Structure 1
Amino acid sequence: MLQVVVDMPTAVKKPYDLTDMLGRIAEAIAPYPKAAMFELYERGYSTLFEQLLSCIISIRTLDEVSIPVSLRLFEKARTPQQLLTLTPQELERLLHGSSYNGQKAYTMLDIARTAVEQYCGELPAVYDNLIALKGVGPKCANLALGVATHTPAISVDIHVHRVVNRWGLIKASTPEKTLLALEKQVPQEHWIDINRLLMPFGKHICTGTLPHCSTCPVLDYCEQVGVTKHR
Protein backbone atom coordinates (compact mmCIF):
# COMPACT_ATOMS: atom_id res chain seq x y z
CA MET A 1 0.00 0.00 0.00
CA LEU A 2 1.24 3.49 -0.83
CA GLN A 3 2.47 5.30 2.25
CA VAL A 4 1.69 8.99 2.30
CA VAL A 5 3.60 11.15 4.73
CA VAL A 6 2.18 14.51 5.76
CA ASP A 7 4.65 17.11 6.93
CA MET A 8 5.58 20.74 6.77
CA PRO A 9 8.26 21.91 4.34
CA THR A 10 11.70 22.17 5.91
CA ALA A 11 14.29 24.88 5.57
CA VAL A 12 17.26 24.44 3.28
CA LYS A 13 19.81 22.38 5.18
CA LYS A 14 22.80 23.68 3.25
CA PRO A 15 23.57 26.16 0.46
CA TYR A 16 22.69 25.12 -3.07
CA ASP A 17 25.49 23.33 -4.92
CA LEU A 18 24.13 22.74 -8.42
CA THR A 19 27.10 20.66 -9.52
CA ASP A 20 26.52 18.24 -6.66
CA MET A 21 22.74 18.32 -7.08
CA LEU A 22 22.80 17.64 -10.81
CA GLY A 23 25.33 14.84 -10.30
CA ARG A 24 23.07 13.15 -7.76
CA ILE A 25 20.05 13.60 -10.01
CA ALA A 26 21.90 12.10 -12.99
CA GLU A 27 22.47 8.92 -10.97
CA ALA A 28 18.88 8.83 -9.71
CA ILE A 29 17.28 9.14 -13.17
CA ALA A 30 19.62 6.66 -14.88
CA PRO A 31 17.00 3.85 -14.81
CA TYR A 32 14.34 6.05 -16.43
CA PRO A 33 13.89 6.97 -20.12
CA LYS A 34 15.76 10.04 -21.32
CA ALA A 35 13.93 13.21 -22.28
CA ALA A 36 12.58 12.77 -25.81
CA MET A 37 14.85 15.13 -27.74
CA PHE A 38 17.99 13.87 -26.03
CA GLU A 39 16.92 10.32 -26.86
CA LEU A 40 16.36 11.24 -30.50
CA TYR A 41 19.73 12.99 -30.64
CA GLU A 42 21.44 9.82 -29.47
CA ARG A 43 19.62 7.90 -32.21
CA GLY A 44 21.18 10.19 -34.81
CA TYR A 45 18.44 12.79 -35.29
CA SER A 46 20.77 15.60 -34.39
CA THR A 47 20.27 18.48 -36.82
CA LEU A 48 18.74 21.73 -35.66
CA PHE A 49 15.82 21.22 -38.05
CA GLU A 50 15.09 17.71 -36.75
CA GLN A 51 15.35 18.81 -33.14
CA LEU A 52 13.06 21.78 -33.72
CA LEU A 53 10.44 19.56 -35.36
CA SER A 54 10.69 17.08 -32.50
CA CYS A 55 10.12 19.86 -29.98
CA ILE A 56 7.05 21.06 -31.88
CA ILE A 57 5.72 17.50 -31.87
CA SER A 58 6.29 17.31 -28.09
CA ILE A 59 4.13 20.34 -27.28
CA ARG A 60 1.28 19.11 -25.08
CA THR A 61 2.27 15.55 -25.96
CA LEU A 62 3.85 12.89 -23.76
CA ASP A 63 7.37 11.70 -24.55
CA GLU A 64 6.00 8.18 -24.96
CA VAL A 65 4.06 9.53 -27.94
CA SER A 66 6.49 12.19 -29.16
CA ILE A 67 9.32 9.77 -29.88
CA PRO A 68 7.40 7.33 -32.12
CA VAL A 69 5.66 10.21 -33.93
CA SER A 70 9.04 11.87 -34.55
CA LEU A 71 10.50 8.61 -35.84
CA ARG A 72 7.53 8.13 -38.17
CA LEU A 73 7.99 11.64 -39.55
CA PHE A 74 11.74 11.22 -40.04
CA GLU A 75 11.21 8.06 -42.07
CA LYS A 76 9.62 10.37 -44.67
CA ALA A 77 11.39 13.69 -44.19
CA ARG A 78 14.49 14.82 -42.31
CA THR A 79 15.30 18.05 -44.16
CA PRO A 80 13.30 21.16 -45.09
CA GLN A 81 13.45 20.15 -48.76
CA GLN A 82 12.07 16.68 -48.03
CA LEU A 83 9.34 18.05 -45.78
CA LEU A 84 8.12 20.38 -48.51
CA THR A 85 7.38 17.39 -50.76
CA LEU A 86 4.58 16.43 -48.35
CA THR A 87 1.09 17.88 -48.50
CA PRO A 88 -0.46 19.29 -45.31
CA GLN A 89 -2.77 16.28 -45.21
CA GLU A 90 0.11 13.80 -45.53
CA LEU A 91 2.04 15.57 -42.82
CA GLU A 92 -0.99 15.71 -40.54
CA ARG A 93 -1.37 11.93 -40.87
CA LEU A 94 2.29 11.40 -40.02
CA LEU A 95 1.82 13.52 -36.90
CA HIS A 96 -1.21 11.54 -35.74
CA GLY A 97 -1.03 11.02 -31.99
CA SER A 98 0.55 14.38 -31.29
CA SER A 99 -1.78 17.05 -29.97
CA TYR A 100 -2.96 19.64 -32.52
CA ASN A 101 -1.34 17.66 -35.34
CA GLY A 102 -3.13 19.68 -38.03
CA GLN A 103 -1.87 22.99 -36.68
CA LYS A 104 1.61 21.55 -36.21
CA ALA A 105 1.67 20.34 -39.83
CA TYR A 106 1.20 23.89 -41.13
CA THR A 107 3.72 25.23 -38.61
CA MET A 108 6.34 22.75 -39.82
CA LEU A 109 5.69 23.49 -43.46
CA ASP A 110 6.09 27.22 -42.80
CA ILE A 111 9.39 26.58 -41.01
CA ALA A 112 10.65 24.39 -43.84
CA ARG A 113 9.65 26.99 -46.41
CA THR A 114 11.42 29.74 -44.48
CA ALA A 115 14.52 27.56 -44.14
CA VAL A 116 14.64 27.01 -47.92
CA GLU A 117 13.69 30.50 -49.04
CA GLN A 118 15.63 32.57 -46.50
CA TYR A 119 18.43 30.36 -45.21
CA CYS A 120 19.42 28.13 -48.16
CA GLY A 121 17.82 25.10 -46.56
CA GLU A 122 19.59 25.21 -43.19
CA LEU A 123 18.17 26.93 -40.14
CA PRO A 124 20.53 29.39 -38.44
CA ALA A 125 21.64 28.44 -34.94
CA VAL A 126 20.55 31.83 -33.61
CA TYR A 127 17.90 32.19 -30.91
CA ASP A 128 16.34 35.38 -32.32
CA ASN A 129 15.99 33.83 -35.77
CA LEU A 130 14.32 30.74 -34.37
CA ILE A 131 11.75 32.52 -32.22
CA ALA A 132 10.93 34.69 -35.23
CA LEU A 133 9.53 31.53 -36.85
CA LYS A 134 5.78 31.26 -36.40
CA GLY A 135 4.94 28.64 -33.81
CA VAL A 136 8.40 28.54 -32.20
CA GLY A 137 8.64 29.84 -28.65
CA PRO A 138 11.52 30.21 -26.18
CA LYS A 139 11.21 26.64 -24.91
CA CYS A 140 11.62 25.00 -28.32
CA ALA A 141 14.20 27.47 -29.55
CA ASN A 142 16.42 26.96 -26.52
CA LEU A 143 15.94 23.21 -26.35
CA ALA A 144 16.69 22.68 -30.04
CA LEU A 145 19.77 24.90 -29.84
CA GLY A 146 21.04 23.19 -26.72
CA VAL A 147 20.58 19.65 -27.96
CA ALA A 148 21.53 20.08 -31.61
CA THR A 149 24.34 22.63 -31.40
CA HIS A 150 25.37 22.45 -27.72
CA THR A 151 24.78 26.18 -27.46
CA PRO A 152 24.30 27.08 -23.78
CA ALA A 153 20.54 27.45 -23.45
CA ILE A 154 17.98 26.77 -20.73
CA SER A 155 14.64 25.24 -21.64
CA VAL A 156 11.90 25.33 -19.03
CA ASP A 157 8.93 23.00 -19.29
CA ILE A 158 6.36 22.35 -16.56
CA HIS A 159 8.63 19.80 -14.86
CA VAL A 160 11.66 22.10 -14.68
CA HIS A 161 9.44 24.97 -13.53
CA ARG A 162 7.97 22.88 -10.72
CA VAL A 163 11.27 21.39 -9.54
CA VAL A 164 13.33 24.56 -9.19
CA ASN A 165 10.47 26.46 -7.55
CA ARG A 166 9.84 23.55 -5.17
CA TRP A 167 13.51 23.63 -4.23
CA GLY A 168 13.19 27.32 -3.43
CA LEU A 169 16.03 28.08 -5.82
CA ILE A 170 13.62 30.16 -7.91
CA LYS A 171 10.43 31.96 -6.95
CA ALA A 172 8.54 32.54 -10.19
CA SER A 173 4.91 32.19 -11.20
CA THR A 174 5.36 30.97 -14.79
CA PRO A 175 7.85 28.88 -16.80
CA GLU A 176 8.77 32.01 -18.74
CA LYS A 177 9.70 33.87 -15.56
CA THR A 178 11.52 30.81 -14.26
CA LEU A 179 13.61 30.76 -17.44
CA LEU A 180 14.72 34.36 -16.95
CA ALA A 181 15.54 33.75 -13.29
CA LEU A 182 17.53 30.60 -14.04
CA GLU A 183 19.58 32.40 -16.68
CA LYS A 184 20.64 34.88 -14.00
CA GLN A 185 21.41 32.31 -11.31
CA VAL A 186 22.71 29.19 -13.06
CA PRO A 187 26.23 29.06 -14.55
CA GLN A 188 26.16 28.53 -18.32
CA GLU A 189 27.99 25.23 -17.97
CA HIS A 190 24.79 23.77 -16.48
CA TRP A 191 22.24 25.34 -18.82
CA ILE A 192 21.72 22.36 -21.12
CA ASP A 193 21.65 19.96 -18.16
CA ILE A 194 18.72 21.81 -16.63
CA ASN A 195 16.28 20.28 -19.10
CA ARG A 196 18.25 17.08 -19.77
CA LEU A 197 18.18 16.12 -16.09
CA LEU A 198 15.31 17.98 -14.45
CA MET A 199 12.66 16.99 -16.99
CA PRO A 200 12.91 13.22 -16.23
CA PHE A 201 13.60 14.00 -12.55
CA GLY A 202 10.36 15.99 -12.35
CA LYS A 203 8.44 13.37 -14.30
CA HIS A 204 9.51 10.34 -12.28
CA ILE A 205 10.79 11.48 -8.87
CA CYS A 206 9.87 15.09 -8.04
CA THR A 207 6.35 14.54 -9.33
CA GLY A 208 3.53 17.04 -9.34
CA THR A 209 1.54 15.16 -6.71
CA LEU A 210 3.02 12.98 -3.98
CA PRO A 211 6.68 13.54 -4.87
CA HIS A 212 9.16 10.87 -3.76
CA CYS A 213 10.72 13.04 -1.05
CA SER A 214 11.69 10.12 1.19
CA THR A 215 14.09 8.78 -1.45
CA CYS A 216 14.97 12.06 -3.19
CA PRO A 217 18.71 12.43 -3.82
CA VAL A 218 18.63 16.19 -3.18
CA LEU A 219 16.24 16.40 -0.22
CA ASP A 220 18.95 17.97 1.92
CA TYR A 221 18.93 20.97 -0.45
CA CYS A 222 15.17 21.25 -0.99
CA GLU A 223 12.80 23.62 0.81
CA GLN A 224 9.83 21.47 -0.31
CA VAL A 225 7.87 24.59 -1.21
CA GLY A 226 4.19 23.74 -1.47
CA VAL A 227 4.67 20.09 -0.50
CA THR A 228 2.21 18.91 2.16
CA LYS A 229 2.10 15.22 1.23
CA HIS A 230 4.79 13.03 -0.22
CA ARG A 231 5.93 9.46 -0.64
Structure 2
Amino acid sequence: MIKVERVMHSDRKRDEIVAYMADFSHAEQWDPGTISCRPLSAGAPVRVGTQWLNVSSFRGRRTELRYELTRMSDDRLTFVGRNKTATSTDDLHFEPHSGGTRITYRAHVEFHGIARLATPLLKGEFERLGDEVSEQLPAALQHALGPPRLDHNSSDLATRKPARNSRHENGKREPSVKSRRAASISPRDRCDDFHKQGDQEQRPRSAGRCDVAPDGHSAWPPGRRTVAAWLPTIWGERCGACAAWPP
Protein backbone atom coordinates (compact mmCIF):
# COMPACT_ATOMS: atom_id res chain seq x y z
CA MET A 1 0.00 0.00 0.00
CA ILE A 2 1.17 3.52 -0.82
CA LYS A 3 0.54 6.23 1.77
CA VAL A 4 0.92 9.95 1.19
CA GLU A 5 0.23 12.72 3.72
CA ARG A 6 0.32 16.50 3.37
CA VAL A 7 -0.66 19.33 5.75
CA MET A 8 -1.97 22.65 4.42
CA HIS A 9 -3.51 25.84 5.78
CA SER A 10 -6.38 27.99 4.55
CA ASP A 11 -7.65 31.36 5.81
CA ARG A 12 -11.24 30.21 5.43
CA LYS A 13 -13.38 28.80 8.24
CA ARG A 14 -13.68 25.06 8.69
CA ASP A 15 -17.40 24.77 7.94
CA GLU A 16 -16.97 26.59 4.62
CA ILE A 17 -14.13 24.30 3.54
CA VAL A 18 -15.94 21.11 4.57
CA ALA A 19 -19.07 22.17 2.68
CA TYR A 20 -17.00 22.84 -0.45
CA MET A 21 -14.91 19.68 -0.34
CA ALA A 22 -17.81 17.37 0.51
CA ASP A 23 -18.81 17.68 -3.15
CA PHE A 24 -16.14 15.46 -4.71
CA SER A 25 -16.86 16.90 -8.16
CA HIS A 26 -14.70 19.83 -6.99
CA ALA A 27 -11.73 17.48 -7.28
CA GLU A 28 -11.46 18.81 -10.82
CA GLN A 29 -10.19 22.03 -9.23
CA TRP A 30 -7.88 20.76 -6.48
CA ASP A 31 -6.72 17.27 -7.58
CA PRO A 32 -3.98 17.56 -10.24
CA GLY A 33 -4.68 14.06 -11.64
CA THR A 34 -8.43 14.50 -12.11
CA ILE A 35 -9.72 15.17 -15.62
CA SER A 36 -13.43 15.04 -14.80
CA CYS A 37 -15.57 14.07 -11.82
CA ARG A 38 -19.34 13.78 -12.16
CA PRO A 39 -21.97 12.72 -9.59
CA LEU A 40 -23.88 9.56 -10.51
CA SER A 41 -27.08 11.15 -9.17
CA ALA A 42 -27.13 14.69 -10.56
CA GLY A 43 -28.88 17.22 -8.37
CA ALA A 44 -29.05 14.94 -5.32
CA PRO A 45 -27.83 16.38 -1.99
CA VAL A 46 -24.34 15.37 -0.90
CA ARG A 47 -24.40 12.86 1.97
CA VAL A 48 -22.78 9.63 3.05
CA GLY A 49 -23.26 7.15 0.18
CA THR A 50 -23.14 9.76 -2.63
CA GLN A 51 -21.05 8.50 -5.57
CA TRP A 52 -19.03 10.12 -8.35
CA LEU A 53 -17.41 8.80 -11.51
CA ASN A 54 -13.83 10.10 -11.54
CA VAL A 55 -11.73 10.12 -14.69
CA SER A 56 -8.05 10.78 -14.03
CA SER A 57 -4.71 10.61 -15.73
CA PHE A 58 -1.78 8.72 -14.24
CA ARG A 59 1.55 8.38 -16.01
CA GLY A 60 -0.06 9.25 -19.32
CA ARG A 61 -2.90 6.74 -19.04
CA ARG A 62 -6.58 7.46 -18.37
CA THR A 63 -8.30 5.53 -15.62
CA GLU A 64 -11.77 5.54 -14.11
CA LEU A 65 -12.71 5.04 -10.46
CA ARG A 66 -16.09 5.13 -8.78
CA TYR A 67 -15.76 7.20 -5.62
CA GLU A 68 -18.11 7.08 -2.65
CA LEU A 69 -18.39 9.40 0.34
CA THR A 70 -18.03 7.00 3.26
CA ARG A 71 -17.58 9.49 6.14
CA MET A 72 -18.87 13.01 6.61
CA SER A 73 -18.61 15.04 9.81
CA ASP A 74 -17.80 18.57 10.90
CA ASP A 75 -14.06 17.85 10.86
CA ARG A 76 -13.55 14.88 8.53
CA LEU A 77 -14.36 13.65 5.02
CA THR A 78 -13.44 10.26 3.54
CA PHE A 79 -13.80 9.25 -0.09
CA VAL A 80 -13.09 5.71 -1.37
CA GLY A 81 -12.58 5.03 -5.09
CA ARG A 82 -12.50 1.57 -6.65
CA ASN A 83 -11.84 -0.18 -9.93
CA LYS A 84 -10.43 -3.57 -10.91
CA THR A 85 -6.83 -2.43 -10.48
CA ALA A 86 -6.78 -0.42 -7.25
CA THR A 87 -8.64 1.02 -4.27
CA SER A 88 -7.88 4.66 -3.54
CA THR A 89 -8.84 6.41 -0.31
CA ASP A 90 -8.73 10.17 0.20
CA ASP A 91 -9.09 11.06 3.88
CA LEU A 92 -9.25 14.73 4.89
CA HIS A 93 -9.18 16.10 8.43
CA PHE A 94 -10.00 19.73 9.26
CA GLU A 95 -9.21 21.65 12.45
CA PRO A 96 -9.32 25.36 13.36
CA HIS A 97 -5.86 26.91 13.39
CA SER A 98 -4.55 30.52 13.51
CA GLY A 99 -7.87 32.06 12.57
CA GLY A 100 -8.31 29.68 9.63
CA THR A 101 -8.21 25.93 9.07
CA ARG A 102 -5.47 23.33 9.04
CA ILE A 103 -6.12 20.63 6.44
CA THR A 104 -4.49 17.22 6.73
CA TYR A 105 -4.72 15.24 3.50
CA ARG A 106 -4.01 11.50 3.51
CA ALA A 107 -4.11 9.35 0.39
CA HIS A 108 -3.93 5.54 0.54
CA VAL A 109 -3.62 3.48 -2.66
CA GLU A 110 -3.75 -0.30 -2.64
CA PHE A 111 -3.17 -2.17 -5.89
CA HIS A 112 -4.82 -5.51 -6.66
CA GLY A 113 -3.51 -8.64 -8.31
CA ILE A 114 -0.34 -8.46 -10.32
CA ALA A 115 -0.39 -4.64 -10.11
CA ARG A 116 0.88 -4.97 -6.53
CA LEU A 117 4.34 -5.66 -7.92
CA ALA A 118 4.53 -2.08 -9.16
CA THR A 119 3.87 -0.57 -5.72
CA PRO A 120 7.53 0.21 -4.83
CA LEU A 121 8.10 1.75 -8.25
CA LEU A 122 5.10 4.08 -8.03
CA LYS A 123 5.77 5.51 -4.56
CA GLY A 124 7.72 8.49 -5.92
CA GLU A 125 5.00 9.32 -8.43
CA PHE A 126 2.34 9.51 -5.73
CA GLU A 127 4.62 11.67 -3.58
CA ARG A 128 4.87 14.09 -6.48
CA LEU A 129 1.09 14.16 -6.77
CA GLY A 130 0.88 14.85 -3.02
CA ASP A 131 3.14 17.88 -3.46
CA GLU A 132 0.93 19.18 -6.24
CA VAL A 133 -2.19 18.75 -4.10
CA SER A 134 -0.61 20.75 -1.26
CA GLU A 135 -0.09 23.64 -3.69
CA GLN A 136 -3.29 23.36 -5.71
CA LEU A 137 -5.84 22.77 -2.91
CA PRO A 138 -5.29 26.07 -0.97
CA ALA A 139 -5.35 27.98 -4.26
CA ALA A 140 -8.61 26.26 -5.28
CA LEU A 141 -10.21 27.19 -1.96
CA GLN A 142 -9.15 30.80 -2.36
CA HIS A 143 -10.53 30.91 -5.90
CA ALA A 144 -13.83 29.16 -5.08
CA LEU A 145 -14.60 30.76 -1.70
CA GLY A 146 -12.94 34.13 -2.12
CA PRO A 147 -11.13 36.10 0.62
CA PRO A 148 -12.23 35.49 4.23
CA ARG A 149 -15.06 37.67 5.53
CA LEU A 150 -14.52 40.04 8.45
CA ASP A 151 -15.84 39.00 11.83
CA HIS A 152 -19.00 40.75 13.06
CA ASN A 153 -17.07 42.65 15.73
CA SER A 154 -14.67 44.06 13.16
CA SER A 155 -17.14 44.75 10.35
CA ASP A 156 -17.12 48.47 11.04
CA LEU A 157 -13.37 48.85 10.64
CA ALA A 158 -13.72 50.10 7.09
CA THR A 159 -16.09 52.88 8.19
CA ARG A 160 -13.95 54.18 11.00
CA LYS A 161 -12.13 57.45 10.48
CA PRO A 162 -8.37 57.16 10.15
CA ALA A 163 -6.26 58.37 13.01
CA ARG A 164 -5.19 62.01 12.77
CA ASN A 165 -1.67 62.33 11.52
CA SER A 166 0.36 64.74 13.62
CA ARG A 167 2.90 65.33 10.84
CA HIS A 168 2.76 67.56 7.80
CA GLU A 169 3.29 66.14 4.33
CA ASN A 170 6.92 67.29 4.45
CA GLY A 171 7.59 65.03 7.45
CA LYS A 172 7.83 67.73 10.13
CA ARG A 173 5.77 67.38 13.27
CA GLU A 174 2.87 69.77 13.60
CA PRO A 175 3.22 71.98 16.70
CA SER A 176 0.76 71.25 19.48
CA VAL A 177 -1.91 73.70 20.58
CA LYS A 178 0.03 74.32 23.80
CA SER A 179 3.20 75.18 21.86
CA ARG A 180 1.36 77.56 19.55
CA ARG A 181 -0.19 79.35 22.51
CA ALA A 182 3.17 79.65 24.28
CA ALA A 183 4.78 81.08 21.17
CA SER A 184 2.04 83.70 20.84
CA ILE A 185 2.69 85.17 24.33
CA SER A 186 5.56 87.64 24.71
CA PRO A 187 8.29 86.90 27.30
CA ARG A 188 7.36 90.00 29.34
CA ASP A 189 3.68 89.04 29.53
CA ARG A 190 4.57 85.50 30.48
CA CYS A 191 6.90 86.67 33.26
CA ASP A 192 4.34 89.22 34.51
CA ASP A 193 1.61 86.58 34.60
CA PHE A 194 3.81 84.30 36.64
CA HIS A 195 4.71 86.92 39.25
CA LYS A 196 1.12 88.07 39.56
CA GLN A 197 0.12 84.61 40.80
CA GLY A 198 0.22 83.99 44.55
CA ASP A 199 2.05 86.03 47.17
CA GLN A 200 4.38 88.70 45.81
CA GLU A 201 6.81 88.02 48.66
CA GLN A 202 7.18 84.44 47.57
CA ARG A 203 7.72 85.38 43.94
CA PRO A 204 9.60 88.72 43.96
CA ARG A 205 11.13 90.23 40.87
CA SER A 206 14.03 92.67 40.85
CA ALA A 207 14.81 94.99 38.02
CA GLY A 208 15.93 93.08 35.00
CA ARG A 209 16.34 89.80 36.86
CA CYS A 210 14.07 87.02 38.09
CA ASP A 211 14.73 86.01 41.71
CA VAL A 212 12.56 82.91 41.38
CA ALA A 213 15.27 81.14 39.41
CA PRO A 214 18.09 79.92 41.71
CA ASP A 215 20.83 81.34 39.52
CA GLY A 216 19.14 84.75 39.24
CA HIS A 217 19.59 84.90 35.49
CA SER A 218 18.29 87.66 33.32
CA ALA A 219 14.52 87.71 32.92
CA TRP A 220 14.72 88.81 29.28
CA PRO A 221 16.09 86.55 26.56
CA PRO A 222 18.88 87.56 24.20
CA GLY A 223 18.00 88.64 20.69
CA ARG A 224 17.04 86.31 17.84
CA ARG A 225 15.70 83.63 20.15
CA THR A 226 12.13 82.76 20.86
CA VAL A 227 10.35 81.40 23.86
CA ALA A 228 9.29 78.35 21.88
CA ALA A 229 12.95 77.49 21.23
CA TRP A 230 13.99 77.33 24.89
CA LEU A 231 10.79 76.86 26.84
CA PRO A 232 10.44 73.10 26.33
CA THR A 233 13.82 72.50 27.97
CA ILE A 234 12.79 73.57 31.49
CA TRP A 235 9.34 73.28 33.05
CA GLY A 236 8.25 73.31 36.66
CA GLU A 237 7.93 75.87 39.41
CA ARG A 238 10.11 78.53 37.84
CA CYS A 239 8.95 81.46 35.79
CA GLY A 240 7.50 80.12 32.54
CA ALA A 241 9.41 82.70 30.45
CA CYS A 242 12.67 83.59 32.14
CA ALA A 243 13.60 80.28 33.72
CA ALA A 244 14.12 78.86 30.26
CA TRP A 245 16.96 81.22 29.46
CA PRO A 246 20.55 80.38 30.43
CA PRO A 247 22.44 82.96 32.51
Pick 1 or 2: higher relative contact order, CA cutoff 8 A, min separation 6: 1
Query: Who wins on radius of gyration, i.e. which is larger?
Result: 2
TM-score using structure 2 length: 0.23
- The structure with the greater share of residues assigned to helix is 1
